[in-house]
Amino acid sequence: MKNVLTFALLAFSLNASELAHSDDEAQKRAHKLYTVQLYCSKQLGPAKRYLEKLPSAVKEKTELFRVGEYIAARYEAKESIATLRPLLEELKSEGIKGAYLVETTQWHRETNRIALKSDEAPRSEEDTRQPPQSRQESRENPAEPKRSKFLNAQMIAKAQKAYEEGRESEALIYYEMLYASGEKSSKLKTNLCYLYGKKGAWFEAKKIIESERYAAHAIYAYAYGAAEVMDANLYNDIAEYLMLDKSGRLFLLMGSYFEKAEAYEKAAEFYRLAKEKNPSDPYNLYAYARGLDILQNSESIEHYRELLKRISPSHALYKTTQKRLYELGG
The whole-number pLDDT of residue 306 equals 95
How far apart CA 251 and CA 255 sit, in angstroms, is 6
Q: Which CATH architecture has domain 18-146?
A: 2-Layer Sandwich (3.30)
Extended strands (E) in the chain: 32-41, 62-67, 70-78, 100-105
The whole-number pLDDT of residue 238 equals 94
105 pLDDT band, cuts 50/70/90, is confident
The whole-number pLDDT of residue 119 equals 42
Q: Give 4-33 pLDDT, tens digit per residue.
A: 333 333 332 333 333 344 456 566 566 888
Exposed e or buried b per residue across 52-69, where buried means at least 16 C-beta atoms within 10 angstroms of its C-beta: eebeeebeeebbbbeeee
As a whole-number percent, the residues of the chain with pLDDT over 90 amount to 42
The domain made up of 147-244 is a member of CATH 2.30.230: no
Residue ranges per domain, the chain?
18-146, 147-244, 263-330
Task: State mean pLDDT over 262-289.
Answer: 96
Q: Give 114-152 pLDDT, tens digit per residue.
A: 988 644 444 444 444 444 444 443 343 444 455 566 777
The whole-number pLDDT of residue 147 equals 57
Between 145 and 61, the more confident residue is: 61
The whole-number pLDDT of residue 117 equals 63
pLDDT at 93 over 90: no
The domain made up of 263-330 is a member of CATH 3.30.1050: no
The whole-number pLDDT of residue 123 equals 45
> Full-prediction pTM beyond 0.75?
no
Q: How many CB atoms lie within 10 A of CB 267?
A: 23
How far apart CA 58 and CA 42 sit, in angstroms, is 22
CA angle 260, 261, 263 (to 5 degrees): 110
* Average pLDDT across the chain, whole number: 81
